[in-house]
Amino acid sequence: MRLSSVLAGAAIFLVPSSSALNILMNNDDGFGSGNLRETYRLLKEEGHNVWIVAPATKQSGQGGRSEFTTEANLTAPSQYDLIPAGEPSIGSDPHDSHIWYYNGTPAACTFVALDYVLPRFADFKVPDLVVTGPNYGTNLGPFVWTLSGTAGAAYAATHRSVPAIAVSASNKEIPYFDIHNETNPATWAAEVSVKVIKAFIDSVPEGGPILPLGYGATVNLPELTGDDSELEYVQTRMTGSAHVNEAVLDPEKGTFTWENIKPYAAGVNTCVNGNCAMEGETHAVENGAVSISVYTVDYTAPSTRNTKNIMERLKPLAGWK
Ligand SMILES: *[C@@H]1O[C@H](CO)[C@@H](O)[C@H](O)[C@H]1NC(C)=O
Ligand SMILES: *[C@@H]1O[C@H](CO)[C@@H](O)[C@H](O)[C@H]1NC(C)=O
């Protein structure tokens, strides 16, 4: 029942009624991430056909940058020395043929997955869903959204007509080989992630896509304890209590670092789209809830009075009527 492989190339994503999906995973923390591997494991336990194509090294902060290596072979060992220098810049994990690394940015890994790994090595060409993360650390608000590689890997998939969900967790780095039981933050993040992903999958209208074309979702997880029975799931918007950087000079060193600007900047918190009464994702997660925001990749401003006024002012330029 893999309808998507029948419809390969068509921009239509129908969910098989059995709900066993072809899922591609990616991240920006690297293919050895415990968060990534635990979510992969639990999605497979749900019966899905899951593949990972993720960066060979840590690629945080790359946003949607699509950079492909010019080297055929790795010039340095991959993350955690899982693959030695001199091996090809793309390949599969020696222990799992469904887990691939590529020495590029997260968005480049999405493209290499869609255009090389899946068509050649998987039993499907186009995934039903792309899941990125769970990231080590939250990605909250519009400013962080555009710079996160985990976000970039997801919106690259949205651009390529594949439904995508980006997940970011609050926990710190845990290599997958340091996980020996289910009592650790990576497994907890995976459990909550899969719960949310399952809610998206189980609620798909008969024959409908998991998400409409051009839409995706970004999910942020608070600090978890392993007992998620009381966890709140909040529908959020990206703006609202969102942070943006300010540059802070260290006069001794003559260098800059960043801090979250205080008070909140109005620009990054302007509500233009969606329900402006909805809670901001930053506020929700800082208060211990799971935030779920829907995004689109149509960055054009909506037809508001402001947009019309701006365009009006340009009329003399081209003699527009
Ligand atoms: C990459 O490594 C392979 C051996 O794994 C070698 O045959 C090949 O020449 C190398 N390519 C380059 C460009 O160094
Ligand atoms: C789980 O593993 C960690 C680290 O390997 C260990 O410290 C902890 O005691 C283990 N917990 C259980 C419940 O086995």
> Residue 128: which CATH number?
3.40.1210.10
Within a domain: 255: no
For residue 206, being part of any structural domain is answered with yes
168 is catalytic: yes
Q: What is the DSSP secondary structure assignment for residue 279, as one 8-state letter?
A: P
Rounded-to-integer distance, Cα 122 and Cα 102, Å: 16
Domain membership of residue 321 (yes or no) is no
- 259 within a domain of the structure (yes/no): no
Give residue 18's pLDDT: 55
C-alpha dihedral (224, 227, 278, 62), degrees to nearest 10: 30
Count of domains forming the chain: 1
In this prediction, residue 2 carries a pLDDT of: 38
Residue 12 CA, ligand 2 centroid: distance in Å: 45
pLDDT computed for residue 14 by the predictor: 53
What is the distance in A from the centroid of ligand 1 to the CA of 74? 9
- Whole-number pLDDT of residue 319: 77
Please name which of 268, 280, 289 lies closest in space to residue 238, comparing C-alpha atoms: 280
pLDDT recorded at residue 19: 77
**Contact call for residues 190 and 179 (beta carbons, < 8 A):** no
Q: What are phi and psi of 88, to 5 degrees?
A: -55, 150
Task: Check residue 22 and give its pLDDT.
Answer: 97
Q: What is the pLDDT of residue 159?
A: 98
Q: In this structure, is residue 257 part of a structural domain?
A: no
Give me the pLDDT at residue 10, please: 42
- Segments in the chain below pLDDT 50: 1-12, 17
Distance separating alpha carbons of residues 206 and 165, to the nearest angstrom: 20
Does some domain include residue 256? no
Candidate of 174, 176, 180 to mutate for ligand 2, largest count of ligand atoms within 8 Å of Cβ: 180
- Whether 258 is covered by a domain: the verdict is no
Print the domain residue range for 73.
22-243+270-309
Supply the pLDDT for residue 320.
Answer: 66
Nearest Cα neighbor of 130 from 43, 57, 58 is 43
Q: Give pLDDT, residue 17.
A: 46
94 domain-assigned: yes
